[in-house]
Structure 1
Amino acid sequence: MIDLRTNLWMVLKEKCPLRRTKILWYLPLLLFTVTNLTGQVLPVIPQPQVAEVGKGNFKPAQGPATLRLAAGDTIGLMLTVSQLQQAFALKFRTTPGLIKQGQPTVWMGLPEEDQDFRTHCKGLKIWPEDRLGEEGYVLLIQAKQIVLAAKSKTGLFYGVQTLKQLLRGYPAENTVPQLKIVDWPSLKYRAVMDDISRGPVPTLAFLKSQVRRFSELKINMMNYYIEHVVSTQSHGGFAPADGSVSIREWKELADYATAHHIELVGSFQSLGHFSKILSHPRYRELGQTHRMLIPGDPESTNFIKDVIKEMLPAFNSGFFNVFGDEAWDLVRGRSGKLPDSISIGRLYANHMLPIYKALKQQGKRMMLTADMPIQYPEIFEIMPKDVMMLTWDYGARESFADWIDPVKKAGFEFLVCPGVLNSNRLMPDFDMAVANIRNFVNEGKDKGAAGVFNTVWDDGGRHFFSRDWYGVAYGADQSWNPNRLPTAQFDKRFDRAVYGDESGGISGMIHELNKMSNLAPTQEMNNNILWNTLIPARGDRINLNTADWEEVLNLTQKSESLLEQAKTTSYTEDLPFWHFTIDQYEYLANSRMHLLKAAEQYRESVLLQKSNPAYSRELLVDALNEVITAKTDLVGLVQSLEILWLRENRSYWLDHAKSKYTEKVDHFTELQSLVLAAIEDFDKGLFLPPPTEVRLAISEVKGQYFQYWLLAGSFTINKPEGRKPDFLTAIGGEQKARPAPGVSFKGKNGEVYSWMKYNSPRSTEINLKQVFEKNTEVLAYAYCTIESPKEQEVSVTVGSNDGIEVICNGNSVFQKFAKRSLIPDEDEFMLPLKAGKNHVLLKIDQWQAGWGFSFRLPDHLVRNHKHKYKLLE
């Protein structure tokens, strides 16, 4: 078999009928075409449309490097030039100086505006190039010269971004290969939205750093999710003084974005998600509920129009995003100012139309989320067709037809909106994000989407954007050139193009950590695991489940090792945020082990205090040391959180972000004091208090208990014994009830109840007394679903205080009616499951004192997404 790369010249001499001069002319193109088959991964994000790699490397000629700029005018090109010079200096330790004539090291420009450059590009057979459009470019790297040509200054800017990544992605000196790239975007709009209204509000300096990094990924549109964090003159009262972005800052950011070829799209929430503003006394009367404005009310719409009018001049985009998503409260009664005959769709549209008209008058085009129009199609019929619809979903689905087809059929231009979900997680689930982005974007392109609106949500308010870049970069890659290439290929490009790391350490670390999403104890990386109860109150007892925590430690150690081996040359400021994530998981695992060991040592010390006081005291000191070690780890996390928070964000919300951490530190501090006091009393000859009095009544259990449920209650009962009434008749009764979060229903006496989500801070039980205000002589429901791969009977263990009844798929399968305390796993029975989804409803009654239950499947591996459980075997 002929080695085409090494023997191409011999083949051409022997087989090609062309004269030698023509062979020399064709050789570069043939080299590009053939060597592209080697599968070399170029360190460029987004993936170029056409990339042909030649033989040999670029090496600047001896002496100073030079740069020739070919353009009719250079206004708007100096940033592009500056970035190229900086990248060149980092790579080759020489800064290309600008020259006006001659053969430079780098020649870039607009061939249609410079005759010499056009002639040069034609001679190289790279011009004319009809595929580029306004954002495309041609990049040719030869042995001694780099040529960059485009039809616009934006194209030149993007070409320089590609060159910067190539120089970074080949960290060894003089190793950039000869190549030719012809590149252009497949989609017009390539946006990133950052949520800055759920806690962290970035500093202006960090916002500008996002602009720089977005532009390097050829993102051309930015948006921020704004509820209350904009400071205006007309309605300044709702904006937090230390946590809002002023109109002046937005204008400065927009100007900065313009220089980087990015549109900054203004936004302001327009209907739902209004709880923060409505909590302000001045605006409370505008609310139909605590979270939604009165739809269509002139005062509500005038308020929105006032804020938007003041914001509009600050932004450089022709769009303005009013969101309008998740306006669920439209179905929760009327404002009293509108007739009940108005449909939900008309009510929503009537609210949005005045805002649309106000934007239109200012020359702006409305962006509107499509979830409400999809749910109420009448909205599509009423809203003007020049509204840009944002259709969103964040699941790892194979098809997004339900989110795309209705918008397309209604005749609206639309953007698909995948997401990098931080929501209530310790880190984004990148496995879910990759599948979501890839499938949504590719289907959207096939069905005519105008672009991509990649969203980064911060529900939970304790997140760092510096951990989001993998998902942001993947979204940028798919937005420019939608593809279904293997993730491993993207990983190689990501590590090298973004961080200059050839080891694969960054992406490898991310994937190791992402395995936490599939482990039972880490609960899909949900941040609620941080707030689980580890230390019981005085007089109380708890059980800690240690199953799979060793695997958590293994993953953190592998992740740390990969992070340490990464040889990053750029954006090293991201790395401390990943160290923090690893430290969080290490703390979660180690703290349980430290506390269980301390509890065991204290119990043994109590038993031996008379027979072996010397050893008993050693055990006490060892227990104290375990407590101090766990506390020290947690204090370190709090300190790191504060430092990292202030690197990205304003001080606003930091105290809240730290509050749950510091609450846990306080528990450790009291535990430490109690153990120390026990040692001091022991040295005085006093007996040791029992473990319950020093907050060390902690025992180890194995297996996964169901911690996440939908709860409803509490319902008054007249007697503790026997079967209790059916309180769910309004929603089909216990046999047919299929609850969903937030769904309300009426009880027998007209009271309104709602199904609430509840994730227990205790790993083995649900303490209902802490959930419901009325908690004597009552009953509550708990609901979950269990997905089974087949029809089968599974063993279930439960405990309850007091009585319990289990109803599965409408059938009562277990009852225990008694006054008793809660002992996990006290009862066992067989639960009949059908293949697919099974509906499990518990009734737990309460007479007085404690109230709660435990539930698990001891013989099966189970994973869950909130209250939806799935058997893995």
Structure 2
Amino acid sequence: MKLHLTGDLSSIAEGLNLVIGNLTVQLSEDGYPVQVKQRKGPLHVMNHNGQAEISFEKPIHFFRGLGLFLEHFSKEKGFDLSENPQFTMSGVMLDASRNAVPTLSDVEQLLQRMALMGLDTLMLYTEDTYEVKEHPYFGYMRGRYSAEELKACDDYAVKLGIEMIPCIQSLGHLREALKWNYASNFKDTDDILLVDEPKTYEFLENCIRAASLPFRTKRIHIGMDETFQLGLGKYLEKHGYENHIDIMNRHLKKVVSITDKYDLKPMIWSDMYFPLFQENSKYRDEFGKIPEDILTSIPDVELVYWNYYRREQEVYEQDFQHHKLLGQTPIFAGGAWTWNGIVPNYGKAIATTEAAMAACKKEGIKEVFVTLWGDNGAETPFSTSLPILQLFAEHTYHKEVTLEQTAKRYSFCGEGNFEDFMVLKKLDETPGVMKDNMNTSMTSKVLLYQDILIGLYDENSKGLSLGEHYEKLVSEIEKAKYNNPKWESLFDFYEQLARVLSVKAEIGIKIKEVYDRKDYEQMKSFLKELDWIQTNVNLLRQKHRKIWFESYKPFGWEVIDIRYGGVITRIDSVKYRIQEWLAGRISAIEELEEERLRHDGPWEIVDGLVGGNVYHRIVTAGNFSL
């Protein structure tokens, strides 16, 4: 298709050249005429009697408008569309710290899709994966971004009307950064910095300077979430016990003095201030109010309220109201649930997004973003987040949103079938798991990695016919693969995962039952099945590797290789143990003599198979460390 764009093109010309090639559209003077107007007001896209117009306020609105025009032009002769942005900022936070570090090319592809969706902000979450020249071990062998790479990302984003905001940590979540000897004098615990130590603030100034300089923006996210052990390590030894809010405020003031020095506007995760909101909080006075001296002691930073766990709208509304007690309207961070295990938890992502976005609109929240965390190895490809990004985008431009509406837009912006992507959630949302997987069972990860002889989760999955579930799922994912040629590699990987689990899911249960009956002939038949699993797990590894190296830097894949390798190698030992027993060289297989108990770890839940995605707790009941 050829288009002839005229009018207010100066703010979008460079970005237009970036996206136009991927849209199979040519810009030509003999193309279909489209008048472009930049003005205040809603996004307006129309086509009537051979004349078209795209009116926009911000450049990001134009790129969404261009996508809307092309989508509707292919289906309708005439149309007149208006959209009113519900938020002044709506964006994405991409985790580049939990093993997978997206390549520059992959970030650019995400930025292009965000532009068509109309999402205007991208944060790269980097705990230690950015270069700090004063500290060469910071991010060493972790795929850290150079300053030049970050600047290139920012240069690319600005052409599309997208603001990139550095997103780092300046108190906790720094385990990988602090594990080297250079940090021994300024860490409180393994992952928290030592407050009030001068070297801490020298270190942080180096980090803040390095993280912010490549970007045009003056905003910076400095983290500070989940520091539950704050003041309980080396700080306790040096200073004695002190309330964590007081330590937090004092530290934050010192960090803000650094951001002030570089003329930066900081934001932090707000969860460490949640004790202030509790009804029986010791920080409230006799009238139930937070005293003025506590309120004024909190430094001037923007607060980011994160919540991607609840489906009740009123929970978000109440928490927004609590934040307003601190004297400001918070920023909201939701989640795409890319960290459930190996597959996305679309059920929970949609349920929580719908509730949270409704609450944001009701409570007047103006800035929102969706997090793409990669907990415990980033085994789920971040590309699976795109349907949820589309949902966030539709909520950004409409007061009311339907999944049907989201699906139509995703077919254009994401080049995929929304319903086909939803099939993937069945890899975890299995028999025995509640609807929408609200308790975050990661069935597929557990069943892939758990040991066949030890079977820590066999008692949880017994009687659920999971092998049959996965066998049926193979054909469903195969159909989805053919429906989504753009995402063939992704669906091919998940098809192979379902295929592996159709056999591996229950083989440990079967082997235990046959062993208990002392059925030697039946036990022999399992040796071929074990060979098949070994071969197909290796094939799964190869398909996963293909996706990884298409999107991420190589650093981090070694962890995933080791995990797959553990499954493959352990099967060798399983076969060895069975063969020794069959040959009479051992009188018992001790692993199979043990009674199977339900998994009762700290993540265990009532409704679902298991509620935690930590690899080392899946593979052994012993002490395991990579």
Structure 1 residues 348 and 582: CA distance shift in structure 2, 3 A: same
Structure 1 residues 696 and 166: CA distance shift in structure 2, 3 A: farther
Equivalent in the alignment of 1:87: 23
Equivalent in the alignment of 1:652: 555
Q: In the alignment, which of 89, 103, 107 is matched to residue 207 of structure 1?
A: 107
Q: In the alignment, which of 298, 301, 308 is matched to residue 383 of structure 1?
A: 298
Aligned to 2:268, the other structure's residue is in SS state strand
1:531 and 2:449 matched: yes
Equivalent in the alignment of 1:70: 7
Equivalent in the alignment of 2:279: none
Aligned to 2:342, the other structure's residue is in SS state coil
Aligned to 1:446, the other structure's residue is in SS state helix
Q: In the alignment, which of 529, 535, 552 is matched to residue 469 of structure 2?
A: 552
Structure 1 residues 660 and 397: CA distance shift in structure 2, 3 A: same
| Equivalent-residue separation in structure 2 for 1:550 and 1:311 (angstroms) | 48
Q: Give the superposition deviation at 1:392.
A: 1.0
Question: In the alignment, is the contact (CA less than 8 A) between 1:275 and 1:291 conserved in 2?
Answer: yes
| Equivalent-residue separation in structure 2 for 1:305 and 1:250 (angstroms) | 18
| Equivalent-residue separation in structure 1 for 2:3 and 2:404 (angstroms) | 37
Structure 1 residues 149 and 423: CA distance shift in structure 2, 3 A: closer
1:631 and 2:520 matched: no
Residue deviations 1:717-771 (CA, integer Å, cap 9, x gap): xxxxxxxxxxxxxxxxxxxxxxxxxxxxxxxxxxxxxxxx999648xxx96xx46
Q: Give the superposition deviation at 1:586.
A: 3.3
| Equivalent-residue separation in structure 2 for 1:761 and 1:68 (angstroms) | 57
| Equivalent-residue separation in structure 1 for 2:481 and 2:349 (angstroms) | 25
Question: In the alignment, is the contact (CA less than 8 A) between 1:80 and 1:160 conserved in 2?
Answer: no
1:709 and 2:601 matched: yes
Structure 1 residues 154 and 444: CA distance shift in structure 2, 3 A: closer
Question: In the alignment, is the contact (CA less than 8 A) between 1:319 and 1:364 conserved in 2?
Answer: yes
Question: In the alignment, is the contact (CA less than 8 A) between 1:272 and 1:293 conserved in 2?
Answer: yes
Q: Give the superposition deviation at 1:150.
A: 3.2
| Equivalent-residue separation in structure 1 for 2:123 and 2:308 (angstroms) | 18
Q: Say which one has the larger Rg.
A: 1
| Equivalent-residue separation in structure 1 for 2:593 and 2:243 (angstroms) | 56
Aligned to 2:226, the other structure's residue is in SS state coil
Equivalent in the alignment of 1:353: 253
Question: In the alignment, is the contact (CA less than 8 A) between 1:388 and 1:415 conserved in 2?
Answer: yes
1:109 and 2:36 matched: yes
Q: Give the superposition deviation at 1:430.
A: 1.5
1:566 and 2:479 matched: no
| Equivalent-residue separation in structure 2 for 1:300 and 1:403 (angstroms) | 32
1:147 and 2:53 matched: yes
Structure 1 residues 638 and 579: CA distance shift in structure 2, 3 A: same
Question: In the alignment, is the contact (CA less than 8 A) between 2:113 and 2:413 conserved in 1?
Answer: no
| Equivalent-residue separation in structure 2 for 1:218 and 1:562 (angstroms) | 30
Equivalent in the alignment of 1:411: 327
| Between 589-598 and 449-458, the greater mean CA deviation after superposition | 589-598
Equivalent in the alignment of 1:433: 349
1:98 and 2:29 matched: yes
1:162 and 2:78 matched: no
Matches within 5 A, 1:328-407: 328-330=228-230, 332=232, 335=235, 343-376=243-276, 380-385=295-300, 387-398=301-312, 399=314, 400-407=316-323
Q: Give the superposition deviation at 1:691.
A: 7.7
Aligned to 2:29, the other structure's residue is in SS state strand
Q: Which amino acid aligns with 1:265?
A: I
1:473 and 2:383 matched: no
TM-score after normalising by structure 2: 0.83
Q: Give the superposition deviation at 1:281.
A: 0.5
Equivalent in the alignment of 1:240: 140
Question: In the alignment, is the contact (CA less than 8 A) between 1:598 and 1:624 conserved in 2?
Answer: no
Equivalent in the alignment of 2:504: 591
| Equivalent-residue separation in structure 1 for 2:154 and 2:482 (angstroms) | 38
Structure 1 residues 218 and 66: CA distance shift in structure 2, 3 A: closer
Structure 1 residues 588 and 154: CA distance shift in structure 2, 3 A: closer
Structure 1 residues 455 and 249: CA distance shift in structure 2, 3 A: same
1:449 and 2:386 matched: no
| Equivalent-residue separation in structure 2 for 1:245 and 1:165 (angstroms) | 36
Q: Give the superposition deviation at 1:319.
A: 0.7
Q: Which amino acid aligns with 1:176?
A: E
Instruction: Name structure 2 gaps, 5 residues minimum.
Output: 277-289, 604-613
| Equivalent-residue separation in structure 1 for 2:505 and 2:394 (angstroms) | 41
Aligned to 1:516, the other structure's residue is in SS state coil
Equivalent in the alignment of 1:577: 490
Structure 1 residues 338 and 82: CA distance shift in structure 2, 3 A: closer
Structure 1 residues 291 and 471: CA distance shift in structure 2, 3 A: same
Aligned to 1:335, the other structure's residue is in SS state helix
| Equivalent-residue separation in structure 1 for 2:519 and 2:467 (angstroms) | 29
| Equivalent-residue separation in structure 1 for 2:617 and 2:264 (angstroms) | 47
Equivalent pairs: percent with the same residue? 16
| Between 205-214 and 591-600, the greater mean CA deviation after superposition | 591-600
Q: Which amino acid aligns with 1:563?
A: A
Q: How many residues align?
A: 590
Q: Give the superposition deviation at 1:631.
A: 1.2
| Equivalent-residue separation in structure 1 for 2:389 and 2:59 (angstroms) | 24
Structure 1 residues 562 and 243: CA distance shift in structure 2, 3 A: same
Q: Which has the higher strand share?
A: 1
Aligned to 1:528, the other structure's residue is in SS state helix
Question: In the alignment, is the contact (CA less than 8 A) between 1:201 and 1:649 conserved in 2?
Answer: yes
Instruction: Name structure 1 gaps, 5 residues minimum.
Output: 1-59, 90-94, 113-129, 608-615, 680-686, 712-756, 773-873
Question: In the alignment, is the contact (CA less than 8 A) between 1:390 and 1:417 conserved in 2?
Answer: yes
Q: Which amino acid aligns with 1:464?
A: P
Question: In the alignment, is the contact (CA less than 8 A) between 2:252 and 2:299 conserved in 1?
Answer: no
Question: In the alignment, is the contact (CA less than 8 A) between 1:203 and 1:650 conserved in 2?
Answer: yes
TM-score after normalising by structure 1: 0.61
Q: Give the superposition deviation at 1:599.
A: 7.4
Q: Which amino acid aligns with 2:4?
A: L
Equivalent in the alignment of 1:125: none
Question: In the alignment, is the contact (CA less than 8 A) between 1:709 and 1:759 conserved in 2?
Answer: no
| Between 262-271 and 305-314, the greater mean CA deviation after superposition | 305-314
Q: Give the superposition deviation at 1:627.
A: 1.8
Q: Give the superposition deviation at 1:179.
A: 0.5
| Equivalent-residue separation in structure 2 for 1:491 and 1:66 (angstroms) | 26
| Equivalent-residue separation in structure 1 for 2:210 and 2:591 (angstroms) | 58
Q: Which amino acid aligns with 2:7?
A: A
| Equivalent-residue separation in structure 1 for 2:523 and 2:240 (angstroms) | 70
Equivalent in the alignment of 1:55: none
Residue deviations 1:543-564 (CA, integer Å, cap 9, x gap): 7835331452255235324414
Aligned to 1:236, the other structure's residue is in SS state coil
Question: In the alignment, is the contact (CA less than 8 A) between 2:474 and 2:498 conserved in 1?
Answer: no
Q: Which has the higher helix share?
A: 2
Structure with the larger RCO, 1 or 2 (CA within 8 Å, 6+ apart): 2
Q: Give the superposition deviation at 1:536.
A: 4.8
Q: Give the superposition deviation at 1:357.
A: 2.3
Residue deviations 1:179-206 (CA, integer Å, cap 9, x gap): 0112231100112101111111111111
Q: Give the superposition deviation at 1:79.
A: 3.1
Q: In the alignment, which of 41, 45, 62 is matched to residue 131 of structure 1?
A: 41
Q: Give the superposition deviation at 1:514.
A: 5.7
Question: How large is the RMSD of aligned CA atoms in angstroms?
Answer: 3.6
Question: In the alignment, is the contact (CA less than 8 A) between 2:421 and 2:480 conserved in 1?
Answer: no
Structure 1 residues 364 and 654: CA distance shift in structure 2, 3 A: same
